[in-house]
């Protein structure tokens, strides 16, 4: 990131239309409108700039006297190198430093990658006065009093509006940590690496094993991971012997693995729900939330100190009036906020204010510092949770199969460079390549133009051939190209092409070949949409895709297809854009559709099984990504739902059944070591819990500050409420009017039904296909050799079955890619705050004005 203050320029003073447009835009914001009204020559000193990605607008720790209007695009808020959140323009930033001691910036704000921001800068340093300088007239503080009051209102609103971010993020942290704990304990049980559990937990596990597996655990035997593993394995072999299923060994092994994983996951889920929180592999003990009560208390104390020095105009009414209760109002989120302008009006009416403007500027500055302090504390809470999420999601999920370490990327680049050198030498001596048609810089396949990989080997000898083999072996290792297919045979089919920035692979050519992109910079596009999940080394075909394309609810014709799908190269500087392709016309079954069975088994079947295997490999990967994205989406949805439920539990005095109350009481005693009194309403339980956690914190954190104690007790209280809500939803879902959010992938269900119907249509035993979805893992096995062996008629019939199977897998691959893109968009939509229609219309009008001003300034 770099600071680009030099990129700002003054607005053109002689261009009245531009100055007026800038004033109209600034007037939309009360803070900036105050500046315009108070400073006559402000339009003459406003600066503008077009900042590039990663450019720094304000730097944490530096002094600053300027405020900024981010007119469009996105900026990132970073504290101590931790990204807190992104803000989308138009938005005002930088006002906190104006009132901070020594005007120190509390955060770094920089332009989000792949964005170019239009920014207006308003320098205020020369207009701010030292409040404690008695030589300055009281009336000279009129601007600062109004300006600081606006600053306080903005920062307070931002703080209280964003409290919901902390609450929802906490639920995401809580849910993700629970999922990861289940995964880690499952793996540890399978590996027999967990130490013996506590006696109460062993009792709970024993009861669970009796209820769900009918296992009577001997009380003299300790329940640890090794003993549990042994007992479950014996039960698995007893209930699911190989003789029960007519499956190939590999298929039976896959099925048993799925059953085992299902058992272990259920047991791990029970363990996580009943284990003490501080003993879990991933504990939330180190996360401390920001408690809004600290802000309210400090705000009250600050105002009380100020009011204690005031002289009342009516002494008899002073004791009766309580200004604080009148002007501290509940926000939409239930937190209190101060209406500072109404508060000042009240003071004007009821108190004699010496040096009125100076007093208001001083008071507004003090209150702004209070709000700023707690917003910084809130930001640190968000930073800790985001950092925690980033770490545990890194342990749990690999959201992108494309990301590689630098060492791996260097290894791949070397392999690509070697292949490129051989490819370049081949082209230098190949007449057909030298005279190939360019077709307007679009890739176009002609016989004899592009080499097969085996052709590159044939122009090499000795040591050089070994080098090329090594390069191919690296690709095979990284991308699992062969899938047990003979590498030498595979090299006869794979054609090699290095694309460049000027080349594109249009849809007409996409349809003619099977494609295997091997470089990160080769992307696949549909109209203007990019598929970010074209994993390297995966097989891709657009067979049947043209039938899935719609424009204005109608099919588009073949001539338009070329504009709808294409491979393109994003950036060829770092990694050479290599792709393999297999022309359909080069496939054996395109030369003869009804070969003798021995020829079919020797030449056709291995390649067909390889193609199906590559497709299944890709579908499993896409499904895994889709499940994880859906899980991420559901955590956002569930966290929002749970926050609503917590609010109901906390405020609406829900009536709980005796069973539900007893379950809550037992859980709180085991996990949080707190006792609940007799059954009562939910709102009373919430208050009792908060008071008990406050007492416990006072006893255990004697050397900590009051704010640290308050934050700790608030965090424990939030954790307890989260666990209570989960428990209630499990025991009695009727308490909350909602539905459970799932992250299933219906595409897989449709594919399973489609393949099942296809197998039945050809009278093939469905046992030749295993298709099972198990939480975070999907297993698909199609024994093509075994399936086709059941078709005892012609090879042509077998090819018909294969082509239909291929078309189904290809179409579902496309559907998964489209669904991944759609889910990404849905997640972004969920993250965007909903505004009322009136505010949206005002914002749309403002954005139009900003766009016009931006264009006018760019033309200059």
Non-local CB neighbours of 423 within 8 Å, separated by 6+ positions: 451, 456, 496, 498
Structure tokens at 141: 């503080």
Question: In 397-429, which positions are buried (b, 16+ CB within 10 angstroms) versus exposed (e)?
Answer: beeebeeeeeeeeeebeebbebbbebbeebbee
Q: pLDDT tens, 158-169?
A: 787 777 778 778
Element (H, E) at 208: helix 199-213
pLDDT value of position 558: 43
**What's the pLDDT at 440?**
55
Is the predicted pLDDT of residue 496 greater than 90, yes or no? yes
CA distance 597 to 789: 10
- Give the mean pLDDT of 423-429: 83
Q: Using 50, 70 and 90 to split pLDDT, how confident is the model at 110?
A: very high
Which comes out higher in pLDDT, residue 431 or 591? 591
Q: Using one digit for the tens of pLDDT, what is the confidence trace for 382-406? A: 878 877 877 776 565 433 333 445 6
Distance separating the N- and C-terminal Cα atoms of the chain? 27
Helix (H) or strand (E) holding 55: strand 55-58
For 34-46, the DSSP string reads HHHHH-TTHHHH-
CB distance 221 to 227 below 8 Å: yes
CA 163, distance to chain mean position in Å, is 20
Instruction: Specify the pLDDT at position 778.
Output: 61
In this predicted model, what pLDDT tens digit does every residue of 8-66 receive, in sequence order?
A: 888 887 778 888 888 888 888 777 777 776 666 666 778 889 998 889 999 988 888 88
Give the model's pLDDT for residue 611: 92
pLDDT at 551 over 60: no
Q: What percent of the chain has pLDDT over 90?
A: 7
Task: Look at 152 and 399; give whichever has higher pLDDT.
Answer: 152
Model pLDDT for residues 607-660, shown as the tens digit of each residue: 998 999 899 888 888 887 887 777 777 777 777 777 788 888 888 778 888 888
According to the model, what pLDDT value does residue 79 have?
Answer: 84
Res. 561: pLDDT tops 60? no
Mean pLDDT within 324-340: 69
Distances (CA, A) of 279 to 77, 256, 672, 717: 34, 31, 12, 19
Is pLDDT of 321 > 60? no
Indicate the average pLDDT of the chain.
80
Confidence of residue 845 (pLDDT cuts 50, 70, 90): confident
> What's the pLDDT tens digit per position in 511-545?
889 999 988 888 887 766 777 778 888 998 887 77
Beta strands of 336-430 (E only): which ranges? Answer: 336-338, 351-352
Using DSSP's 3-state secondary structure scheme, residue 232 falls into helix
List all residues 6 or more positions away from 334 whose beta carbon is below 8 Å from its beta carbon.
647, 651
pLDDT at 560: 43
Go through the chain and tell me how many residues it has: 860
Q: Residue 431's pLDDT band (boundaries 50, 70, 90)? A: low
pLDDT (0 to 100) of residue 126: 66
Report pLDDT for 580.
94
Q: Which residues pair with 505 in a beta bridge?
A: 567
């Amino acid at each position: 990131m770099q600071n680009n203050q030099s990129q700002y320029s003054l607005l053109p003073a002689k261009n009245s239309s531009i100055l007026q447009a800038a004033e109209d835009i600034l007037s939309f914001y009360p803070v900036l409108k105050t500046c315009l009204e108070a400073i006559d020559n402000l339009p003459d000193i406003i600066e503008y700039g077009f900042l590039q990605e990663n450019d720094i607008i304000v730097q944490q720790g530096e002094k600053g006297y300027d405020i900024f209007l981010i007119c469009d695009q996105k900026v990132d808020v970073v504290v101590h190198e931790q990204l807190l959140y992104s803000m989308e323009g138009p938005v005002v930033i930088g006002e906190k430093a104006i009132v901070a001691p020594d005007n120190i910036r509390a955060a770094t704000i920089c332009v989000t990658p792949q964005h170019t921001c239009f920014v207006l800068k308003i320098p205020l340093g020369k207009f701010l006065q030292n409040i404690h300088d008695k030589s300055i007239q009281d009336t000279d503080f009129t601007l600062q009093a109004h300006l600081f009051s606006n600053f306080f209102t903005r920062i307070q609103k931002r703080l209280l509006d964003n409290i919901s971010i902390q609450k929802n993020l906490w639920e995401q942290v809580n849910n993700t940590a629970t999922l990861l704990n289940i995964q880690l304990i499952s793996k540890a049980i399978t590996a027999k690496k967990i130490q013996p559990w506590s006696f109460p937990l062993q009792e709970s596990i024993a009861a669970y094993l009796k209820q769900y597996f009918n296992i009577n655990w001997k009380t003299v035997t300790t329940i640890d991971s090794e003993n549990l593993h042994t007992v479950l394995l014996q039960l698995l072999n007893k209930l699911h012997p190989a003789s029960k299923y007519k499956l190939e060994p590999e298929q039976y092994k896959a099925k048993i693995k799925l059953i085992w994983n299902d058992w272990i996951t259920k047991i791990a889920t029970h363990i996580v729900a009943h284990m003490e929180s501080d003993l879990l592999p991933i504990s939330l003990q180190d996360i401390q939330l920001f408690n809004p009560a600290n802000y309210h208390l400090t705000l009250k104390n600050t105002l009380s100190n100020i009011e204690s020095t005031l002289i009342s105009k009516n002494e008899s009414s002073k004791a009766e009036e309580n200004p604080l209760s009148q002007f501290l109002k509940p926000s939409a989120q239930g937190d209190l906020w101060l209406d500072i302008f109404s508060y000042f009006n009240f003071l004007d009416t009821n108190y004699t204010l010496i040096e009125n403007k100076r007093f208001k500027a001083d008071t507004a500055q003090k209150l702004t510092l209070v709000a700023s302090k707690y917003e910084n504390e809130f930001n640190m809470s968000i930073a800790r949770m985001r950092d925690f999420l980033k770490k545990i999601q890194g342990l749990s999920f690999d959201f992108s199969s494309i990301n590689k370490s630098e060492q791996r990327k260097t290894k791949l680049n070397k392999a690509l460079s070697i292949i490129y050198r051989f490819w370049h030498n081949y082209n230098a001596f190949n007449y057909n390549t030298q005279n190939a048609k360019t077709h307007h810089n679009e890739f176009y396949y002609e016989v004899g133009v592009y080499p097969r990989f085996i052709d590159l080997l044939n122009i090499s000898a000795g040591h050089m051939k070994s080098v090329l083999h090594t390069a191919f072996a690296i690709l095979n290792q990284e991308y699992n190209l062969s899938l047990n297919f003979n590498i030498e045979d595979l090299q006869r089919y794979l054609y090699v092409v290095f694309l460049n920035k000027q080349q594109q692979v249009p849809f007409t050519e996409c349809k003619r070949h099977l494609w295997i992109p091997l470089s990160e910079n080769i992307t696949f596009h549909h109209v203007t949409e990019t598929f970010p999940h074209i994993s390297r080394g995966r097989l891709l075909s657009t067979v049947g895709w043209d039938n899935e394309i719609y424009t204005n609810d109608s099919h588009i014709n073949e001539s338009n297809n070329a504009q709808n799908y294409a491979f393109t190269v994003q950036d060829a500087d770092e990694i050479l854009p290599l792709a393999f392709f297999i022309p359909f016309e080069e496939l054996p079954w395109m030369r003869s559709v009804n070969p003798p069975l021995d020829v079919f088994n020797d030449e056709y079947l291995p390649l067909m099984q390889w193609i199906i295997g590559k497709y299944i490999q890709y579908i499993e990967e896409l499904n895994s990504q889709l499940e994880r994205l859906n899980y991420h989406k559901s955590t956002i949805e569930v966290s929002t739902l749970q926050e609503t439920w917590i609010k109901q539990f906390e405020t609406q005095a829900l009536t709980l059944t005796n069973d539900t109350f007893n379950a809550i009481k037992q859980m709180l005693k085991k996990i949080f070591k707190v006792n609940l009194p007799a059954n009562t309403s939910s709102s009373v339980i919430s208050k009792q819990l908060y008071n008990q956690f406050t007492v416990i914190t006072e006893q255990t954190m004697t050397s900590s500050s009051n704010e640290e104690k308050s934050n700790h007790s608030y965090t424990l209280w939030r954790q307890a409420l989260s666990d209570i809500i989960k428990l209630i939803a499990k025991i009695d879902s009727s308490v909350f009017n909602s539905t459970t959010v799932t992250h299933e992938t219906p595409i897989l269900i449709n594919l399973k039904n489609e393949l099942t119907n296809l197998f039945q249509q050809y009278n093939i035993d469905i046992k030749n296909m295993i298709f099972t979805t198990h939480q975070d893992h999907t297993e698909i096995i199609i024994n093509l050799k075994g399936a086709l062996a059941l078709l005892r008629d012609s090879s042509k019939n077998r090819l018909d079955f294969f082509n239909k199977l291929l078309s189904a897998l290809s179409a579902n691959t496309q559907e998964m890619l489209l669904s991944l893109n759609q889910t990404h968009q849905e997640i972004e939509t969920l993250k965007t705050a909903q505004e009322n229609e009136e505010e949206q219309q005002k914002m749309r009008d403002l954005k139009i004005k900003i766009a016009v001003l931006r264009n006018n300034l760019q033309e200059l």
